Structure 1
Amino acid sequence: MMSDPRLPPEILDYIVDFLHNKPQRLKMCCLVAKSWVPRTKKHLFKRIEISSLVDLETWWKVFPDPDSSPGHHVRSLIFPCVGPIFSGVAGGCNLVRPFTNVVRLGMWCDKGIFNALTSSQFFELVCSLPLLEDIDLGVWVIGSDYGHGPVFEPRASPPLAGTLSLSLAAEIGDVTRGLLALSNGIHFRKFVFAWSSEEDYQWAMALVERCSDTLEYVEIDRNVLEYSSEALIDLSNATKLREVAFWFRPDVNWITNTLKTILPEHRDLQKISIYFEPHHDIFADDPEDLKRVVGEWTYKQWMDLDGRLVQLWEAHAVCIKLVGARNKFKSVISLLPEAAKRGIVQLLIYAEVEFDSKTHRRLYS
């Protein structure tokens, strides 16, 4: 009698792993044979979104035993609207009990729920995830505790060695104060920043300074420039920096001053990415004509940026990417004449770039 044909385990793993980002195909794999289910669960439950308290209660109902639930497969835990969930759950530990292997925590919230999540609740949750590396906080997530935080007792904290993304319309002071107080420190390699006040800018600088020994990537959202005056992000101590990215409506002086903090010690610097949105189509071969079109002060700012990009290219052989709308490229050629003449910049259009819808982070290689 012929035994049941079975694939060698390494072939089965290869097939299932190949389908890791195709959930419908993975679900079909679960119907093939029981032996296919364990490997398939690893990918099916790798990323979980909990959109409501009902979702969370359903999980607990279907998987009442945390030790045997597929929660240990979850690596990314996302709360698209965290307010109602936290209002119905007492304590972060209870919330994440089945998800102790999470390495990325994402939280976003509607504008209408301003005080949905206090910093004490947030850090109780963070400290309950022993493997956590990445934190992504979206609009209006963190409300203020009464008084000055942190109101929790800092204790053994997760590694926090991945990405910190702060795109908040509320103040980031409580978040930053708590992160800086964690007993094991923070060791983020990537920062994505947007903030809403000058005070938040100071907190962002404190984070950069604290992670200066590990920081490799900094992205500054264009919205920050609406709230910043002449302040700059001082990157001089972040000597392991590999890439800097800016979103901006043309506050070129702010970008130039920040790039001036990059020193010869930044030997690992490889790429500068600038997402530009000039307000007008500008094209003029003659510098005097260009001055009349954009104004003498604006013209000087662009020439300073042009010179700084050339200096960085000469010092570090850095790849410079400028990303914008197709009809703005002539403007850039006019406003960055030396960089354009030397061919040191790569121009990309928005249509050729994919974006993460939550963080607006560019995904091109």
Structure 2
Amino acid sequence: MNPLGTGCFKPKFPAEIFDLIVDHLYDDRNTLLACSLCRELQPASRFHLFSDLSIKPFPEDLLTLIDILCSPNNTMAIYVQRLVFSDLTKFVLYHGVSDMSRALRFIPRLISFIPQVKTLHLLNTDFEHLPQDIIHSLLSHFTTFTDVRLQFLHFYRFSEFVELACSFPVLERIEIKRLTWTHNGRNALSLRRMPSVGVQWDILELKRGGNLRDLAEWLAVHDNPPQLRSLCYDAASATEVSYLRQLVQRTASSLRNLQVSFPIFVDSARVSETLHEFINLNDCTSLRSLHYKHVLIYPGDAVTSLISPWLSASLSQVRSDLLETIDFELMVPTYGDETCLQELDWEGISKVLLEKQFKYLKMIRFNVCMCPGTSFDSSRAAKFIMDQLSPFKPFLALKVAS
């Protein structure tokens, strides 16, 4: 299929088939641009090409963008799905507060040309060094937005993150990834509560364990349990484990995607006790994907000898018959090779995966993380895994990365 060929092809399949093909190219901009030259592929291509509208908060740039959107020749606006604001702190530093304040006055007019957009994406911004009046002015324009995605943001206090999250009165979904704050929360009961009930949370990753503890403690004081759809369960201390266990206990039935990082903070003398108390999956009855991260497979290591049986024991707690994907991220030592894989309890894992709750399993992935120079033979490793989990060969995948 060549969208640039002479005389664009006439589709022999339903349009939905071509839409699915283009959907798989969502992150290949050059191919999408080529496909957009074909009339039959143009709508699906534009859907991905114009889905994100990145906003530069500079008056002249915003006025130019508004002119484009209000032009009678404009065909882009109907495809916009998200407004993206990035590097706001850097912009204020280079251009000044006054320019950004002027630019923000044009936001309502901009939104009026794309009324279908209800998703806001904020990323790569240090709110600790952004004037409060700028923050309030910016957020005041998005009170009707229902979906907010926050990535790579920093705040001075945890309470400032809470104020931002509570600025969206009709919020339905919030996604957070790599958020940090300098000063942790102190009294969760004194902080604002989410104005909307039933908000879906996707906590993909927080950079510090203490930040995850603050978030877990704050969500726990809400009258209605939050709808936690995705969670990266990563603790840096025994105290954080306690908060996270409570959070999972309150939200277990809503969890769809769970990533469990091995507690690397413990010493070998307390590993058994920590693993026993670390997490309980019994009530996670709606899991679709489960990811085990930082699984150490060090030959002869006391910690590894405890992790191995814990993995199969943890899997045996799963009660969701909706689980489709299981990932294992394996950590190999510098001196290790593919024989390190023998440290896992393969018999226990295989036995558990044969139970009825895993009947809809579609993928079992092993991601091997190793230091450069490690003598790890990928083909031998793949064969070893296939032999150990032979009943699941159609679902197995191996990826080796340094």
State if a TM-score over 0.5 links the two structures. Answer: yes
Deviation (angstroms), 1:68: 2.6
* Structure 2 residue aligned with 1:105: 149
* Structure 1 residue aligned with 2:348: 307
Evaluate the alpha carbon distance shift between residue 128 and residue 344 of structure 1 in structure 2; reply closer, same or farther with a 3 A threshold: same
**Residue of 198, 202, 205 corresponding to 2:245:** 205
For residues 348 and 340 of structure 1, the distance between their equivalents in structure 2, rounded to whole angstroms, comes to: 14
**Residue of 224, 247, 255 corresponding to 2:293:** 247
SS at match of 1:52: helix
For residues 109 and 33 of structure 1, the distance between their equivalents in structure 2, rounded to whole angstroms, comes to: 32
Aligned-residue sequence identity (percent) comes to 12
* Structure 1 residue aligned with 2:330: 276
For residues 197 and 239 of structure 1, the distance between their equivalents in structure 2, rounded to whole angstroms, comes to: 27
* Structure 2 residue aligned with 1:20: 50
For residues 381 and 42 of structure 2, the distance between their equivalents in structure 1, rounded to whole angstroms, comes to: 54
SS at match of 1:108: strand
Larger CA deviation: 233-242 vs 170-179: 170-179
Deviation (angstroms), 1:117: 2.9
Would you say the 8 A contact 1:176–1:207 is kept in 2? yes
1:96 aligns with 2:139: yes
Matches within 5 A, 1:1-365: 16-17=46-47, 19-20=49-50, 34-37=71-74, 39-40=76-77, 43=80, 46-52=83-89, 54-55=91-92, 57=97, 58-64=99-105, 67-70=108-111, 73=117, 75-86=119-130, 88-89=131-132, 93-100=136-143, 101=145, 103-109=147-153, 116-129=155-168, 130-138=170-178, 140-141=180-181, 143-145=183-185, 147-154=186-193, 156-157=195-196, 159-171=198-210, 172-221=212-261, 224-227=262-265, 229=271, 230-231=274-275, 232-250=278-296, 251=304, 252-253=307-308, 254-263=310-319, 266-279=320-333, 280-283=336-339, 302-303=344-345, 305-315=346-356, 316-317=358-359, 318=361, 319-324=363-368, 327-328=377-378, 330-331=380-381, 333-334=383-384, 337-340=387-390, 343=393, 346-350=396-400
SS at match of 1:189: strand
Aligned length, in residue pairs: 313
Would you say the 8 A contact 1:160–1:186 is kept in 2? yes
For residues 100 and 79 of structure 2, the distance between their equivalents in structure 1, rounded to whole angstroms, comes to: 17
- CA RMSD in angstroms, aligned pairs only: 3.9
With structure 1 as the length reference, what TM-score do the two structures score?
A: 0.70
Would you say the 8 A contact 2:199–2:227 is kept in 1? yes
Write out per-residue CA displacement over residues 49-73 of structure 1, whole angstroms, 9 at most, x where no aligned residue.
2431745955542231554343973
For residues 259 and 181 of structure 1, the distance between their equivalents in structure 2, rounded to whole angstroms, comes to: 30
Would you say the 8 A contact 1:69–1:98 is kept in 2? no
For residues 193 and 224 of structure 2, the distance between their equivalents in structure 1, rounded to whole angstroms, comes to: 9
Write out per-residue CA displacement over residues 244-277 of structure 1, whole angstroms, 9 at most, x where no aligned residue.
01122425434333212114xx221222111223
* Structure 1 residue aligned with 2:14: none
SS at match of 1:136: strand
Write out per-residue CA displacement over residues 330-357 of structure 1, whole angstroms, 9 at most, x where no aligned residue.
3465478531476365123257xxxxxx
With structure 2 as the length reference, what TM-score do the two structures score?
A: 0.64
- The answer for unaligned runs of 5 or more in structure 1 is 1-10, 111-115, 284-293, 352-365
- The answer for unaligned runs of 5 or more in structure 2 is 1-40, 55-63, 297-303, 370-375
Deviation (angstroms), 1:313: 3.4
Read off the aligned partner of 1:227 and give its amino acid letter.
Answer: F
